[in-house]
């Protein structure tokens, strides 16, 4: 069976099941684990499948982001650990962009006490937190308000972000795969692209549950991201595939601040 036939067979199995284990694919296709992983890698590059622990599944499509209130209660231990690793990337004197999100809010709490920083954010909760906890210079990139996510987005926000020369940007996402991050609206797309273009270093901070989800619009290519900080729940094959792209990957243990 040639690679294209095997890949079609994998997709057919996923039409019949939400997920399939690597061992089942090996038995069904009569090939080695390595061959199956190569086929999965190719399908994952095309956004047709997503690696999960011990196997592969169909991507989960998102129509809309969850609200800030809902996200704040999810994966709290992972967010705390990611924030601990993220703060190590910041030095006094840096201009730091904090994208809208609850993971970046956890990072803001860690960074508030570091002196001689300049903060830029489009997140209302982050702006409020830093205005109360930090004496550092703080800018809010305003625009149309997304009430559900306590943030601003759209072309006006993007234009303000573009005025800054950012040293390190912590960007968030509700969905990413080997192709990159994705977003549900044009307004969010404009902001994600502005963040990437204004930053000398872009770091994606996201817990592993967001991997394999896909929204309507492709945003930032994964290869345009300098580093990903996520947790050890990311599937081993996804870890290997990301590293093959040459992207720095830091995995944190939810019980500790960081592990590489």
pLDDT one-digit tens code per residue, 41-64 = 888 888 788 888 788 888 877 665
Q: What is the structure's pLDDT at 42?
A: 86
What confidence tens digit (pLDDT) does each residue in 148-161 have?
Answer: 889 999 999 999 99
Does the domain at 68-252 match CATH 3.40.50.10470? Answer given as yes
CB half-sphere exposure, 46, CA atoms < 13 A = 11
Mean pLDDT, rounded, for 95-115? 97
Nearest to 198 by CA among 155, 153, 164: 164
E-strand ranges in 4-136 read 19-21, 50-52, 55-57, 60-61, 95-98, 118-121
70, 168 Cβ separation under 8 angstroms: no
Partner residues linked to 152 by β-bridges: 145
Sign of CA dihedral 48, 101, 257, 91: positive
CB half-sphere exposure, 3, CA atoms < 13 A = 9
State which H helix or E strand residue 68 sits in. Answer: helix 68-72
SS3 category, 101: coil
Structure tokens at 231: 């947790």
Domain covering 3-58, topology? Arc Repressor Mutant, subunit A (1.10.10)
Q: What is the structure's pLDDT at 153?
A: 97
Nearest to 28 by CA among 1, 51, 46: 1
d(CA 224, CA 198): 12
Q: What is the structure's pLDDT at 74?
A: 60
pLDDT of residue 255 exceeding 90, the answer is no
pTM over 0.95: no
175, 106 Cβ separation under 8 angstroms: no
d(CA 225, CA 248): 9
What confidence tens digit (pLDDT) does each residue in 176-220 have?
Answer: 999 999 999 999 999 999 999 999 999 999 999 999 899 999 999
Domain boundaries, the chain: 3-58, 68-252
Q: Output the DSSP codes for 142-176.
A: -SEEEGGGTEEESHHHHHHHTT--EEEEEE--S-E
State which H helix or E strand residue 140 sits in. Answer: strand 137-140
């Amino acid at each position: 069976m040639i690679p294209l036939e095997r890949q079609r067979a994998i997709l057919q199995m996923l039409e019949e099941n939400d997920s399939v284990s690597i061992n089942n694919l090996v038995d069904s296709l009569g090939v080695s684990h390595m061959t199956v992983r190569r086929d999965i890698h190719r399908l994952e590059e095309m956004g047709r499948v997503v690696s999960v622990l011990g196997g592969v599944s169909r991507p989960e499509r998102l129509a809309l982001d969850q609200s800030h209130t809902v996200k704040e209660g999810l994966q709290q231990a992972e967010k705390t650990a990611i924030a601990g690793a993220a703060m190590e990337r910041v030095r006094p004197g840096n201009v730091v962009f904090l994208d809208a999100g609850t993971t970046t809010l956890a990072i803001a709490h860690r960074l508030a006490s570091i002196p001689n920083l300049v903060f830029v954010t489009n997140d209302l909760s982050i702006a409020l937190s830093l205005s109360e906890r930090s004496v550092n210079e703080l800018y809010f990139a305003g625009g149309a308000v997304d009430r559900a996510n306590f943030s601003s987005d759209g072309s006006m926000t993007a234009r303000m972000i573009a005025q800054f020369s950012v040293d390190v940007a912590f960007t968030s996402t509700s969905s990413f795969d080997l192709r990159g991050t994705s977003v549900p609206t044009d307004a969010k797309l404009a902001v994600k692209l502005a963040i990437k273009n204004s930053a000398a270093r872009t770091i994606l901070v996201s817990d592993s549950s967001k991997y394999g989800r896909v929204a309507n619009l492709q945003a930032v290519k994964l290869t345009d991201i300098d580093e990903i900080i996520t947790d050890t729940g990311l599937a081993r094959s996804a870890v290997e595939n990301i590293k093959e792209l040459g992207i720095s990957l830091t995995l944190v243990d939810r019980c500790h601040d960081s592990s590489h």
